[in-house]
Structure 1
Amino acid sequence: MRSIATLLVSATLLLTGVTAVFAQADDITIAVALEPPALDPTAGAAEAIDIVTYQNIFEGLTRIDRDGSVQPGLASDWTISDDGLSYVFSLREDVVFHDGSTFDADDVAFTFERILADDSTNAQKSLYEVIEAVEVEDPQTVRFTLAQPSGRFLFDIGRGDAVIVASESAENNATLPIGTGPYAFVQWDRGSRVILERFDSYWGDRPPLARATIQFIGDTATLINALLAGEVDGTNNMAAEALEVFANNPEFQVLVGTTEGEVVLATNNRIEPFSDLKVRQAMAHAIDRDALIEGVTYGYSAPIGSHFAPHHPFYVDLTQTYPYDLERARTLLAEAGYEDGFSATLKLPPVGYARQSGQILASQFAEIGITLELINVEWAQWLEDVLTNHDYDLSIVAHVEPFDIGIYADPDYYFGYDNADFRELIETLNTTTDDAERRTLAEEAQRILAEDAVNGYLFELAQTGVWRAGLEGMWQDSPIEGLVLRDLRWSE
């Protein structure tokens, strides 16, 4: 990535040398950084798939709204049995797939049988293994029977991994996606763009824009120039260091929100000295989040004190559990037997936020006598060394799955956190369906992780959108993977 100075020079040259024409009609071109490897969100793990397809081409029985809440989707309503084991969904009528075939309960049954099949390539298959049976009661009614109550069931079936596909077209969805959403797939120019058009037979409200082009631009300077020239109308995630190009430009609006990406100093709790709570507490006291956020994301991120997204309604602000306090950090290290500090390795994957955070944290930890050796690794090596083999001391990575606090209930996970009380709490949370009770349990789970300083909780990755002035309906926060087009419109 070019330096910010180079980007600003480039932008200035473009502004003085080009007269951009900003067309505001009934179409839009949006730039995103990554091209998806395929276009079937039920058969691949890449977030880039959902960016293009989720709630645009494909829909689920439920859908996740901009505030993270669960709303009706292809199911208009549902009833839940008293024991929480049976969900009966009433399906919307007059819904058709983009190829004209009719949507009904058989498509729902097919979709989940495919997800749970032995040869399934669904990235989140484990979320749906709670399903014991899917029964078609009539064309508009389908019953799910669960092995145990699941407080996340309605959310999980609203994710991109559980969108409804048809048996007639599912095999080709990777390259020719056919769903029930408000936009139909038109073409995919590999290496360049995907074009979608409004589906006139859509069952729901008619989306305002007739045509949407998702253009793939990975280079920040190229993206800046494309925006200023009027070649694209916006992006959901501009590099933070480039936002000042647009912040005071009346032709644009900058929307800064949060994502589901908790950036953590991942800590190997199973090995010394990190198995000692006082060592982890000392590290927590040595972290200056404000300096990290300013240095890594130019101030465009939210600090976190536990493993939870700030935009979630269950979020608790725990950033002051271990406030920045170098004297307290040194005292705790001495109490743990490390008065002179210690040395450790910090393995960093190939993303800017991780490697920049690593450099700043190394400087901060040096203040209390902890010497970090920074080891840059590629993703394949990170997955093997850190995630699979647990061959690491410390690492920095963003965990981007929604509501994934339950990963700490697995002592075999790469953190090596083994807390029987926490496991019991998560098991109760997972089987609780009452929303108020779930909130109480989720808040307690956050507090346990914060107090145990399982990881260094740094910041939530920001969603930094830049959009043409006059465009409305964009999501400021990103509670789930996706770039939802349904509400986008040009103001009059």
Structure 2
Amino acid sequence: MIKLSFAPSARLARRLSLSAALSAGLVMTAMTPAEAAKTTLNLGMSVEPTGLDPTIAAPVAIGQVIWQNVFEGLVTIDQAGKIQPQLAKSWEISPDGLTYTFKLQTGVKFHDGEAFDAASAKFSLDRARGADSVNPQKRFFASIASIDTPDAETLVLHLSAPTGSLIYWLGWPASVMVAPKTAADDKTTPVGTGPFKFASWAKGDKVELARNADYWNKDAAAKLDKVTFRFIADPQAQAAALKSGDLDAFPEFAAPELMSSFDGDARLVTRIGNTELKVVAGMNTAKKPFDDKRVRQALMMAIDRKTVIDGAWSGLGTPIGSHYTPNDPGYQDMTGVLPYDVEKAKALLAEAGYPNGFTFTIKSPQMAYAPRSAQVMQAMFAEIGVTMNIEPTEFPAKWVQDIMKDRNFDMTIVAHAEPLDIDIYARDPYYFNYKNPAFNALMKKVQETADPAAQSAIYGEAQKILAEDVPALYLFVMPKLGVWDKKLKGLWENEPIPSNVLSGVSWDE
């Protein structure tokens, strides 16, 4: 446990001294510990991470604690979703797209004192792409054929094929730089280069981070001395902790139906932002009747997305018509491609040979949005003569086994959290069992260019294909529901990548 001082800041001390000088004889009251403690933050999360190393496991809760706080990457994704330099201060891409040369920051040290340089960067990437890698995004590094380190400040990646998304992928939590001597222990005691150091983890309760006084980037140094992540699963308990002041912030509040309970609270504010959480009802397109595009289109046209959002998430969410969010480059609103139209849906079913509908089962994980969405969809499908049975499915273990591994399902519903993951429909295998050569060609083409404008145009074409083919029923993007103290500054309202980036967070004095 690291003990932290609660002494007034230097700026506050100067202000007190000035006041004393100007107001001789004025009796000043001592600050209470609570008033002096505004360099600490108690932040709530619904889910406790299973470990603290995002390079060996995928759950978003890992990144929400340590990404950009403890660990950093060669590049980073800012709150506008843009790529920014980080441990790499610049880079050049060869005209053929096969060589990436990075110039690294100098004078950077890991929290254990080990130097960050080209050798440790090579170690991190080799660990992520190697034969024994368990990195959840190992595919990001698949095109890296070899890595050179001409000097301590230069890292050269040689690719086997152009990979236009590589720089973006290097900004993900799975791509952070790790220290060679301590990487094996990062799951429980993470060591990075970030503005905060890992302090302690009380399993089942909290993770504590402490300010890194030796942080290399003085312009982005932490303003907080201590951050405590507290894990509270129950939404009623989350709300109670916020209202009592036990928590200062809950950047991803779990219960939209309780958001209005904070109305009129003198201390707290609520914020509704964007995320990458795309709620979709994926179909097994290798099974009848879902192998018929007309059936999939009919189901899509039977759904009134606004009613789904009202029933599943208290009206808080953004309707989508493809596997893409308004945060993403080249986003196009595709909700009008197959709009809500019961009569046209019935006609499409009849044309496909199902004039009296059919019966199927949706496997619904236990997260609140899934059964709520499924119940609304169930009523809507009944309007076109389709019977949908709802089978609760434990997540993640049973869901992963049934859907991702065995493909033993008709339809499922889940929120896809990965940013810019439209390429999942080109992966083989993937649970939709979707095969479209034209779509696959676009996903290949987007990697053959590093030009953002060209990539955006390609992504636009890809969105249109999915909107018309509907391998999944595209429902809505879940919002980022934030509740925090009005005096807190710098928390991200939107979430272009799973994050609680805290280096810019401070308290108003």
Provide the TM-score with structure 1 as the length reference.
Answer: 0.94
Match of 1:113 in 2: 126
Contact between 1:24 and 1:490, CA under 8 Å: does it hold in 2? no
1:95 aligns with 2:108: yes
Q: Indicate which of 457, 475, 488 corresponds to 2:492.
A: 475
Match of 1:365 in 2: 381
Deviations 1:314-370 (A, max 9, x none): 211111111111111111111112111111111111211111111110000000000
Match of 2:76 in 1: 63
Q: Indicate which of 460, 475, 481 corresponds to 2:477.
A: 460
Q: Name the aligned partner's letter for residue 60 of structure 1.
A: G
Deviations 1:97-151 (A, max 9, x none): 1122221111101111111222222111121111111111101111111111111
1:417 aligns with 2:434: yes
Displacement of 1:312 in angstroms is 1.7
Q: How does 1:266-305 map to 2 (within 5 A)?
A: 266-305=282-321
CA–CA distance in 1 between the matches of 2:412 and 2:120? 43
Q: Indicate which of 163, 175, 178 corresponds to 1:165.
A: 178
Match of 2:195 in 1: 182
Contact between 1:136 and 1:142, CA under 8 Å: does it hold in 2? yes
Among all aligned residue pairs of Structure 1 and Structure 2, give the percentage whose two residues are the same amino acid: 41
CA–CA distance in 2 between the matches of 1:340 and 1:222? 47
Q: Which runs of 4+ in 1 moved over 6 A?
A: 21-24
CA–CA distance in 2 between the matches of 1:249 and 1:325? 42
Farther off after superposition, 284-293 or 250-259:
250-259
Match of 1:131 in 2: 144
CA–CA distance in 2 between the matches of 1:247 and 1:313? 34
Match of 1:264 in 2: 280
Match of 1:8 in 2: none
Structure 2 residues without counterparts, runs of 5 or longer: 1-33
CA–CA distance in 2 between the matches of 1:54 and 1:289? 33
* Structure 1 pair 363–171 and aligned structure 2 pair: CA distance change class (3 A): same
CA–CA distance in 2 between the matches of 1:176 and 1:202? 18
Q: CA RMSD in A?
A: 1.4
CA–CA distance in 1 between the matches of 2:193 and 2:318? 36
Deviations 1:199-231 (A, max 9, x none): 111111222212111111111111111111111
Q: Indicate which of 219, 230, 241 corresponds to 2:245.
A: 230
Contact between 1:62 and 1:158, CA under 8 Å: does it hold in 2? yes
Displacement of 1:196 in angstroms is 0.9
Q: Name the aligned partner's letter for residue 368 of structure 1.
A: I
Contact between 1:22 and 1:230, CA under 8 Å: does it hold in 2? no
Deviations 1:425-457 (A, max 9, x none): 111012221111000000100000001122110
Q: Name the aligned partner's letter for residue 305 of structure 2.
A: R
Q: Secondary structure at the match of 1:344?
A: strand
Contact between 1:67 and 1:312, CA under 8 Å: does it hold in 2? no
Displacement of 1:247 in angstroms is 3.2
Q: Name the aligned partner's letter for residue 291 of structure 1.
A: T
CA–CA distance in 1 between the matches of 2:335 and 2:132? 43
CA–CA distance in 1 between the matches of 2:216 and 2:403? 46
CA–CA distance in 1 between the matches of 2:296 and 2:48? 39
Q: How does 1:297-376 map to 2 (within 5 A)?
A: 297-376=313-392
Q: Secondary structure at the match of 1:437?
A: helix
CA–CA distance in 2 between the matches of 1:247 and 1:288? 29
CA–CA distance in 2 between the matches of 1:87 and 1:449? 32
Q: Indicate which of 252, 256, 269 corresponds to 2:268.
A: 252
Displacement of 1:410 in angstroms is 2.9
Q: Secondary structure at the match of 1:243?
A: helix
CA–CA distance in 1 between the matches of 2:355 and 2:172? 48
Q: Name the aligned partner's letter for residue 208 of structure 1.
A: K
Match of 1:449 in 2: 466
* Structure 1 pair 410–114 and aligned structure 2 pair: CA distance change class (3 A): closer
Provide the TM-score with structure 2 as the length reference.
Answer: 0.90
Deviations 1:376-417 (A, max 9, x none): 111222212222121211111111111111111135321121
Q: Secondary structure at the match of 2:478?
A: strand
CA–CA distance in 2 between the matches of 1:112 and 1:434? 24
Match of 1:13 in 2: none
Contact between 1:266 and 1:394, CA under 8 Å: does it hold in 2? yes
